[in-house]
Amino acid sequence: MADVGERLVQQLMKRKLRYAVHIMRGSSGPLLQLSLEGKIKGKRGQGRPRRNWMDDVKEWSGSTSYGDTKRKAENREEWS
C-alpha cells in the first residue's frame, strides 16, 4: 500500500513540475507568469510567510532561486 502512495506522490510531483515549466516558458500568457513570479501588487499578511507553490518547484528542481528555475525550464534538455 505504501508503494501506491509513493507512486502517487511521484506522479503529482512530475505533473506539478511540468505545469510550472509550461507557465515559466510563457505558454499560458503573462498573467499566470506574473502571479508565479509574485509580481502582483497587494498587501501581505502578518506572521511567517506561507510555503508557496513555487517553493516546491524550486526544491524539486534543485534550484535555489526563481531565476535559476526559470533558466532550467527554458532549456528543455536540462530540465528533462
Strand, coil or helix: 26: coil
- Show the cell assigned to 74: 527554458
Domain of residue 17 covers: 2-38+51-79
| Contact in structure between 18 and 6 (CB atoms under 8 Å) | no
CA angle (58, 34, 49) in 5-degree steps: 55
44 lies in some domain: no
* Angle in degrees, 0-180, between the axes of helices 66-74 and 53-61, rounded to the nearest 10: 60
Residue 28 lies in a domain: yes
Contacts of 65 (CB under 8 A, 6+ apart): 58
Q: pTM to 2 decimals?
A: 0.56
Question: In this structure, is residue 32 part of a structural domain?
Answer: yes
Per-residue pLDDT of 47-73, as tens digits, reads 887 788 888 888 888 888 888 888 888
**Is residue 43 in a domain?**
no
At residue 35, does pLDDT exceed 80? no
